[in-house]
């Protein structure tokens, strides 16, 4: 299957390379410093960071490195995982999320991405888990506001509902975000998780206006067949089945003007030379999203 | 994780063993005749049939065998797979569905289950595929009405959107069914595909009344971790993460009084002796759905 370029070529959905961000998970074997220099070498203006790589570098040093490279930080991945029954686990999860908020502030990230957590261990009650997510976000909002960080609730594909996120659709994420102030809580659209949803266009419109809840847009393709671990069924734009044109047009239509992160979890891509990956990320971004 | 029996024990959601149906895919290595005698041996009053096994036995002989065994036919699996771009493929798919409708009529099945089909081969446009599904169902309705067969649109889990069904949620299936007469088109709820949906209870209520679109209820559990082929991540009731109580209560609340099919695709269960599987199906049905 070749890239479906016709659809992306309408002017409304064109996203230029000046809005490309490389999520560092796409080249996950590189350190933060090496990923930053990779972005510079490939004229990629923004970066999505992961907390483990930030910690390895040291927070202040990581912030200094991305600033020195002239990179914008489009997101920090990730907070969340708050569905804990025991009080100790819950306290630890909240403390970890507060630390993540502080890191996002220091790094100047546009959003702290939240992967909310699956079912409570040993339980089957989705309602309980979803209430825990809402309660936890409520507890984190004052800290997010104090430090000027926006939390971005990322709905995960329903195949991860049991073990990673009980928030499975953009509609559900938006309903949740709307319970909190717009300066503190928004939603993140990742095409891998939401491309299948017949309500997606309507839900992007709802998330995007008038409250401006859309705080991040991440892209990668859905490959067939899925690999054994379905986390890693992601591919370069154009290598799979996702129709990026209509999704990007919906995102553009609500006035989203932030960066667009390419975030791909895929063993073959991780095994490829990072410069080759970065070049391909740029090329496919231009071809599939930029109407090139 | 043990069976969450407390939730199923409310009287509203109790489903007795007199409503148990064994879908023959659960013991897929058995012939239709052997599955029918297995049901009789285990006092299971109904059976869900698959077309390949019906064909192998011969349609008239299959109908005679289930009648002789005193079994009700709760469903015939399956029609659908109508998302074909080329006219020849489309004609063949419709002809095959008409044959399936005739078989369902001869067998006295409560519904012909439709797995609608994924993206059109070589295309990425979900809208086109979804319109093809609607058009095909529209073409099949007169034949279904003529033979008194109800088509049951089964939403498949979104992880199968690309390759098996572009109809991914119960809400979407119900919207589609409502475009056609109630005597011809309804929806089938399979817990494996829809358990994660925050809107499930509302959508069951909408499907169930007042138009009585709920024509089938299939149950199996969602196992963790998922196996390599995600088709086969199903387990005996109680072995996974699905909270059957609230789903069954929603199904009961709309007055669904049909059979409840246990349909499990799982290599370990297929490798087990069929009598052991049938006994376990009964036992878990009673414990998880019957409040036993």
The predicted-structure confidence for B146-166, as pLDDT tens digits, reads as follows 999 999 999 999 999 999 999
Per-position b or e across A217-252, b if 16+ CB within 10 A of its CB: bbbbbbbeebeeebbbbbbbbbbbbbbbbbbbbbbb
**pLDDT per residue over A97-143, tens digit each?**
999 999 999 999 999 999 999 999 999 999 999 999 999 999 999 99
Model pLDDT, residue A7: 39
B212 vs A224: CA distance, rounded Å: 36
Which of A126, A196, A222 has its CB closest to that of B168? A196
Locate B166 and state its tokens.
């572009």
**CB contact at 8 A, B140 and B105:** no
Locate B45 and state its tokens.
């009053």
Model pLDDT, residue B209: 82
Report CB contact under 8 Å: B163, A196: no
Interface membership of A2 toward B (CB under 8 Å): no
CB neighbours of A212 closer than 8 A, spacing ≥ 6? A182, A186, A255
**pLDDT per residue over A7-41, tens digit each?**
343 455 689 999 999 999 999 999 999 999 999 99
Which of B157, B227, B243 has its CB closest to that of A126? B243
Residues of chain B neighbouring A157 (CB-CB closer than 8 A): 158-159
Residues of chain A neighbouring B195 (CB-CB closer than 8 A): 161
Q: Please tell me the distance in Å from A235's CA to the nearest CA on chain B.
A: 15
Interface membership of B2 toward A (CB under 8 Å): no
Question: What's the length of chain B?
Answer: 292
Mutate to test the interface with B, among A7, A125, A162 (most CBs of B within 10 A): A162
Model pLDDT, residue B13: 64
Interface membership of A228 toward B (CB under 8 Å): yes
Q: Please tell me the distance in Å from B206's CA to the nearest CA on chain A.
A: 17
User: Predicted confidence band at A229 (pLDDT cuts at 50, 70, 90)?
Assistant: confident
Report CB contact under 8 Å: A241, B172: no
Burial class (CB in 10 A: 0-12, 13-18, 19+), A123: middle
Q: Which residue of A has its CA nearest to B161?
A: A196
- Give B31 or A1, the one with higher predicted confidence: B31
Model pLDDT, residue B226: 83
Point out the least confidently predicted range of A48-57, A146-155, A205-214, A263-272: A205-214
User: What does the pLDDT average to over A207-213?
Assistant: 85
Q: Which residue of B has its CA nearest to A246?
A: B125
| Contact map slice: A 3-62 vs B, CB within 8 A | 4
Residues of chain A neighbouring B172 (CB-CB closer than 8 A): 198
- The DSSP bridge partners found for residue A217 are A189, A260
**pLDDT per residue over B55-81, tens digit each?**
999 999 999 999 999 999 999 999 999
Model pLDDT, residue B11: 53
**CB contact at 8 A, A92 and A129:** no
Report CB contact under 8 Å: B126, A243: yes
CA atoms B180, B181, B183, B189: torsion sign: positive
Model pLDDT, residue B235: 96
A173 vs A170: CA distance, rounded Å: 5
What are φ and ψ of residue A118, in 5° steps? -90, -155
Interface membership of A85 toward B (CB under 8 Å): no
Report CB contact under 8 Å: A1, B198: no
For chain B, what is the mean pLDDT? 94
Q: Could you tell me what percent of chain A has a pLDDT over 70?
A: 95
A232 vs A253: CA distance, rounded Å: 30
- State the CB neighbour count (10 A cutoff) for residue B60: 9
B90 vs B126: CA distance, rounded Å: 17
**pLDDT per residue over B169-197, tens digit each?**
999 999 999 999 999 999 999 999 999 99
Q: Which residue has the tokens 């007199």?
A: B18
Locate B176 and state its tokens.
């589609």
Model pLDDT, residue A12: 54
User: Predicted confidence band at A292 (pLDDT cuts at 50, 70, 90)?
Assistant: low
Report CB contact under 8 Å: B230, A226: yes
Residues of chain B neighbouring A224 (CB-CB closer than 8 A): 162-163
**pLDDT per residue over A53-79, tens digit each?**
999 999 999 999 999 999 999 999 999
Q: Please tell me the distance in Å from A194's CA to the nearest CA on chain B.
A: 9
**CB contact at 8 A, A77 and A21:** no
Interface membership of A197 toward B (CB under 8 Å): yes
Which of B126, B172, B222 has its CB closest to that of A162? B222
Q: Is B267 helix (H, G, I), strand (E, B) or coil?
A: helix
**pLDDT per residue over B17-57, tens digit each?**
999 999 999 999 999 999 999 999 999 999 999 999 999 99
DSSP per residue over B162-230, as a string? TTTBS--SHHHHHHHHTTS-TTTEEEEEEHHHHTT-TTHHHHHHHHHSSS--EEEEEE-EE-SS--SSG
**CB contact at 8 A, A33 and A269:** no
Report CB contact under 8 Å: B158, A163: no
For chain A, what is the mean pLDDT? 94
Model pLDDT, residue B227: 80
**CB contact at 8 A, B216 and B113:** yes
Q: Please tell me the distance in Å from A220's CA to the nearest CA on chain B.
A: 14
Q: Which residue of A has its CA nearest to B176?
A: A198
Question: What's the length of chain A?
Answer: 292
């Amino acid at each position: 299957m070749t890239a479906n370029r016709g659809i992306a070529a309408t002017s409304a959905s064109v996203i230029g390379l000046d809005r490309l961000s490389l999520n560092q998970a796409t080249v996950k074997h590189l350190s933060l410093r090496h990923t930053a220099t990779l972005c510079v070498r490939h004229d990629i203006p923004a970066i999505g960071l992961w907390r483990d790589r930030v910690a390895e570098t040291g927070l202040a040093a990581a912030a200094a490195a991305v600033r020195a490279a002239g990179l914008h930080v489009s997101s920090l991945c990730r907070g969340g995982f708050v569905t804990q029954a025991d009080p100790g686990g819950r306290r630890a999860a909240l403390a970890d999320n507060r630390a993540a908020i502080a890191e996002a502030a220091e790094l100047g990230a546009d959003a702290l991405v939240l992967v909310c957590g699956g079912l409570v261990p040993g339980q089957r009650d989705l309602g309980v888990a979803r209430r825990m997510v809402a309660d936890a976000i409520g507890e984190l909002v004052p800290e997010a506001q104090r430090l000027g960080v926006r939390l971005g609730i990322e709905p995960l594909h329903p195949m991860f509902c049991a073990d990673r996120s009980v928030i499975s659709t953009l509609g559900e994420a938006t309903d949740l975000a709307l319970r909190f102030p717009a300066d503190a809580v928004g939603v993140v659209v990742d095409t891998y998780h939401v491309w299948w949803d017949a309500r997606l266009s309507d839900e992007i419109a709802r998330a995007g206006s008038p409250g401006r809840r859309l705080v991040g847009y991440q892209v990668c393709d859905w490959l067939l067949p899925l690999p054994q671990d379905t986390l890693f069924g992601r591919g370069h734009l154009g290598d799979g089945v996702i129709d990026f044109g209509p999704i990007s047009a919906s995102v553009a239509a609500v006035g989203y003007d932030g960066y667009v992160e390419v975030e791909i979890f895929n063993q073959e891509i991780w095994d490829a030379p990072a410069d080759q990956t970065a070049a391909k990320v740029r090329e496919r971004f231009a071809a599939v999203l930029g109407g090139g």
